[in-house]
Structure 1
Amino acid sequence: MNLSKPYLTTRSLQPENQETPIQFIKNNIISERLFFRRNHFSYPNLTYSSYWLPVNGHVRNPQLFSLQNIMSLPSKALTVVLECAGNKRSFFEPKVFGEQWEKGAISQGVWKGVPLKTLLQLAHIKEGALEVVVEGYDVGKRTDTDKVYSYARSLPIEKALHEDTLVAYEYNGGPIPFKHGFPLRLIVPQWYGMASVKWVKQITIVNRAFSGPFQTVDYVYYPKKDSDEGATPVTTMRVNSSIKKPLDREILTTGVHEINGIAWTGKGLIVKVEISTDSGQTWTEVKLRNKDQYSWIDWSYDWEVAEKGEYTILSKATDSHGRVQRKEPYWNRKGYGYNGIDRIKVKVE
């Protein structure tokens, strides 16, 4: 191992959950080696040679696609950020159970594939279709039951028919890596990563609400600790930002230091990022770069500090829908959707 290069931070091994070292990555396209890994079960066993994708259910013309069929259809490539719904879970107060992700359950790259809409149109959806269920080959027992489940999620028909919801087969110009969903995975821009089902096994159109456990038990905001009152589904990413440099608890000298990071949203575009170097008493708007529709944006600020001491640095993003990163995150007992103002502390000597 080359110790001069960053590597993943392990959160669990069975199943494998690993975090991107986001603070040490300068590129906006994340390599396979450093793309975060989020799994509910062990990796599935499947082979390229026997792979077929059924599209069935509430349709007039069920389909069975080979990979060659899919790859011959009109395709598109999109740079998309994928964020685990549990990203930054470790920062919630009071603490919540689950993988204690810090800032690195987020990555992005270029995904190429066929719009899901194309496959659904070939199957001729019947009137009254409500949702599209996408099932993966990953399967196992949940911790809350002895039953065996495959990982499956549904999309509302409108989101499934969005022109940029993809059945992807390439990542960064090559086949999707096995650990990230080879040979096919769903890519749902602007939604948290749980919607982008890996190792797609089957697509089923239904005329009722899907009630699988990864839809109705997990990936639900429960605002109360001891009851399900007020529960709402996890869907669109919240507006968010992360400080990449300096590192939390870093020791600096007086002089000029670059503060930089990323910001992203599930609605519209990031239009403003502000930072504070005095614990939020005053805010300064910073420079933004690369305003792409589905990717994070880079931001930076040159901080001139003349006085020694300890400083709390904050970052706060605003999107084009007027959504602003919250002073206090929306607490929920499963720890999803953390988007509190990001903060680090540094010491200047």
Structure 2
Amino acid sequence: MKHATGVKIFSCTMGASLVLGGIGAITPALAQQWGADAPACANGAITRNAVDYQKIANVSGSFSFTQDTLTPADEVFNLFGTAVTSMCAKPGYAFDKVAYEEYYLNVGGMVDKVHTVSLAELANMDEKQQQNMRCSCGMSPALSMANVTGVKVSDMVELAGVSPEANTITFKDKDGYGLPLPLSYVTEKEALLVYQIDGQQLPEGERLQVWIPDTVAKYFTRAVTDIELSVSDELPPVEGPDAEYRAKVNILNTVNGTFKVGDMISFEGYADDCGNQVTAVEFSLDGGETWTAFDTTASGTDSWVYWHFDYVTEAEGIFKLDVRAVTDDGTVSPLASSMVFEVEE
């Protein structure tokens, strides 16, 4: 028996393997997202798409998790260029390329004086911040964790002298697109104007983005050129993820080949609820009739739960591993993540 420890390939004794399909973003094509309401056939196996899945109740295995695993920068850039921009940040995602030296940010509206700063000046500010932060779409499964570098929004608006009456802030791109937010929310969350991800400059058309902890990505305006301070009679609401995208969970492996009885299969993936604590990750090998829960109450809320689950195969057949997450308010993943694999004698 071989227990895989590599980053990209998870191997077993007789040639079968699990391939890591990218740390973050969209559910892999082979991962079927469905719950415990699968139809059952007479012999007790689960039937879906003409496949009979064998059942093992109360699946057991070795579980661990970390919170410092990050999505590679190129995958984060791809996420912004596809799922987040088409469903979250802005309709359409074609931005004019702007040279680093020619990119400027204006802070205006209810301020003492409009303040303009170049991207180069912003990047050279002494108050720069570097931290891990999530980018989670509220209308799709898309999710990533990234190490971002930028400056606090609060530091920038202070340079312009904010009017005491201002209670709303809007981050706009060159076309004027942006969603208003309560100024107090943005400052309390310590939102950042981000110009680097994983030490890399952002693409030419999106030199500067706003990232806000515990906030869905539709508020992450790309290619920010203007920050506008204003007064609202009623503070704009801050919306969270749609109900079906609470307690996100994902298996990041894809299957390559067939396993043997006694092989150890190393699964990995993430669970996250955009600022709410994930208190457990649960696994099922019988279509959701029984779930084995692993405690994650030691996790923090500022990063995803990146989990590892090692399972030693017990019998031959075709199996489907379902994974779901549970949060501190009792929310259970509306969309479980699944992986189908085959075991031979």
In the other structure, the counterpart of 1:86 is 139
Q: Distance in 2 between matches of 1:107 and 1:126?
A: 36
Distance change (3 Å), C-alpha of 1:210 and 1:123: farther
Question: How many Å apart are 1:290 and its aligned residue?
Answer: 9.7
Question: Deviations 1:232-275 (Å, cap 9, x if unpaired)?
Answer: 9743573211112354x974332232232111122243232111
Q: Distance in 2 between matches of 1:7 and 1:286?
A: 23
Q: Distance in 2 between matches of 1:79 and 1:267?
A: 13
Q: Distance in 1 between matches of 2:160 and 2:193?
A: 15
Paired AA for residue 202 in structure 2: I
Is 2:337 the partner of 1:342?
A: yes
Paired AA for residue 343 in structure 1: S
Within the candidate set 90, 111, 120, 2:148 is matched to: 111
Q: Distance in 2 between matches of 1:126 and 1:113?
A: 24
Question: Deviations 1:124-161 (Å, cap 9, x if unpaired)?
Answer: 33234332111123x5xxxxxxxxxx432222222211
Contact conserved, 1:288 with 1:300, CA < 8 A, in 2?
A: no
In the other structure, the counterpart of 1:28 is 69
SS of equivalent to 1:160: helix
Q: What is the RMSD computed on CA atoms of the aligned residues?
A: 3.6
Equivalenced residue count is: 274
Question: How many Å apart are 1:163 and its aligned residue?
Answer: 4.7
Question: What residue ranges of structure 1 are gaps of 5+ in the alignment?
Answer: 9-18, 89-104, 140-149, 216-231, 330-339
Within the candidate set 265, 290, 305, 1:282 is matched to: 290
Question: How many Å apart are 1:74 and its aligned residue?
Answer: 0.7
Question: How many Å apart are 1:107 and its aligned residue?
Answer: 2.2
Identical-pair percentage: 18
Contact conserved, 2:172 with 2:227, CA < 8 A, in 1?
A: yes
Question: Deviations 1:254-307 (Å, cap 9, x if unpaired)?
Answer: 223223211112224323211112111222234769945433221122223322
In the other structure, the counterpart of 1:75 is 128
TM, length-normalised to structure 2? 0.67
In the other structure, the counterpart of 1:235 is 240
Distance change (3 Å), C-alpha of 1:162 and 1:323: farther
Paired AA for residue 103 in structure 2: Y
Within the candidate set 87, 95, 102, 1:43 is matched to: 95
**Quick check: which has more Rg, 1 or 2?**
2
Distance change (3 Å), C-alpha of 1:22 and 1:158: farther
In the other structure, the counterpart of 2:320 is 312
Q: Distance in 1 between matches of 2:148 and 2:28?
A: 20
Distance change (3 Å), C-alpha of 1:252 and 1:192: farther
In the other structure, the counterpart of 2:260 is 253
Q: Distance in 2 between matches of 1:267 and 1:121?
A: 27
Within the candidate set 114, 127, 134, 2:164 is matched to: 127
TM, length-normalised to structure 1? 0.67
Paired AA for residue 135 in structure 2: L
The higher relative CO (CA closer than 8 Å, separation ≥ 6) is in 2
